[in-house]
Amino acid sequence: MSIPSKVTIIDVGPRDGLQNEKQAVPAAVKVELVHRLQDAGLKEIEVTSFVSPKWVPQMADNAEVMAGIQRKPGVRYSVLTPNMKGYEAAVLSKPDEIVVFGAASEAFSQKNINCSIEESIERFRPVAQAAKAAGIAVRGAISCAVGCPYEGEIAPERVALVARLMKDIGVEHVGVADTIGVGTPLKVQRALDATLQYYSVDEVSGHFHDTYGMALANTLACLEMGIWHFDTSSAGLGGCPYAKGATGNVATEDVVYLLHGMGIETGIDLDKLIDAGQFISDFLQRKPHSRAANALLTKRLG
């Protein structure tokens, strides 16, 4: 498979990135982050999640954030929906896409939602059906696709099972997520291969955490397979609550720097992207978790 000439980045910073932040981030700041990301050229942004505020207080302002965004033509705004109740609330905010999720780890599934992998995906069937009937796209995320905090290494067969179940309930596109960032290139390629049994190369994305510094290597391993969709997070927002000291999602800036350096088109203005990451990092009172951003910000000062 040849390396793709263009790549689509789904920035999950406003949702996956901010949901783990301890300090409350006001809706206006989240809206401004989305505006800055779309101005930088992002065409897919995961904005918020419609989950119980009891479980994720940071996302309690979901409807306010969605209402506050000045939508740009050609940009897809997605939201996470954990169940039918979440979907019913989400649909009022007119998302372009909803995201459902399932773990490739039986132990993770049992510990987090008290049910098996099969049961967890089956719960999303009515959500996917309702979304499709309303003309809303349905994306799925396969978490713990390479490793699990409870089970250790995950067999590719588990990933294939989740991909098959997601295909069966009507999920159109899946992200293969190394949730705790333990993956290395060959393991990641095996997880992707398992998914590609049920989805085409155009319907699969890579989602990597940088806990062990492997996220860019894993991104490159996916590019070599022809994968051209990736989930990333501006300024590397988001920790992983299951791995002590774990850094979060790979930084959008680092992935864009890699892609542009390989001559791959993203449609993203790296300088504006760095400004967006700097904006949210300033609010959180810390430096961006992005090597490329910090290097280029230092260069600007020079």
Q: What is the DSSP annotation of 39-108?
A: HTT-SEEEEEE---TTT-GGGTTHHHHHHH--PPTT-EEEEE--SHHHHHHHHTT--SEEEEEEES-HHH
| The pLDDT value given to residue 113 | 81
Structure tokens at 83: 């169940």
Strand partners, 76: 44
SS3 182: coil
Mean pLDDT, residues 94-122 taken together: 94
Q: Which residues are tagged catalytic? A: 240
What Cα–Cα distance (Å) separates residue 111 from each residue in 42, 83, 129, 216?
35, 17, 27, 30
Nearest by Cα to 257 from 247, 269, 248: 269
| The pLDDT value given to residue 59 | 96
**pLDDT > 60? residue 243:** no
φ, ψ of residue 95 in degrees (nearest 5) = -75, 155
| The pLDDT value given to residue 91 | 98
| The pLDDT value given to residue 112 | 82
**3-class secondary structure per residue, 261-291:** HCCCECCCCHHHHHHHHHHHHHHCCCCCCCH
**pLDDT > 70? residue 247:** no
**pLDDT > 70? residue 295:** yes
**pLDDT > 90? residue 142:** yes
- pLDDT tens digits, one per residue of 174-233: 999 999 999 999 999 999 999 999 999 999 999 999 999 999 999 999 999 999 999 999
Parallel, antiparallel or unpaired: strands 147-148 and 152-153 = antiparallel
| The pLDDT value given to residue 1 | 63
When mean pLDDT is compared across 85-99, 137-151, 188-202, 232-246, the lowest value belongs to: 232-246
**pLDDT > 90? residue 138:** yes
Distance of CA 206 to the CA centre of its chain: 9
| The pLDDT value given to residue 253 | 98
| The pLDDT value given to residue 302 | 82
- pLDDT tens digits, one per residue of 250-289: 999 999 999 999 999 999 999 999 999 999 999 999 999 9
Strand partners, 231: 10, 207
| The pLDDT value given to residue 240 | 52
**pLDDT > 90? residue 152:** yes
How far apart are alpha carbons 8 and 74 in whole angstroms?
13
What Cα–Cα distance (Å) separates residue 57 from each residue in 109, 147, 231?
22, 27, 23
Mean pLDDT, residues 34-56 taken together: 96
Parallel, antiparallel or unpaired: strands 97-103 and 76-80 = parallel
Mean pLDDT, the chain, whole residue set: 95
Mean pLDDT, residues 233-258 taken together: 81
Q: What is the share, in percent, of the chain residues with pLDDT greater than 70?
A: 97
**pLDDT > 70? residue 124:** yes
**pLDDT > 70? residue 95:** yes
Of residues 162 and 243, more confidently modeled: 162
**pLDDT > 80? residue 242:** no
How far apart are alpha carbons 51 and 48 in whole angstroms?
9
| The pLDDT value given to residue 167 | 98
Nearest by Cα to 77 from 7, 152, 140, 136: 136
How far apart are alpha carbons 65 and 47 in whole angstroms?
8
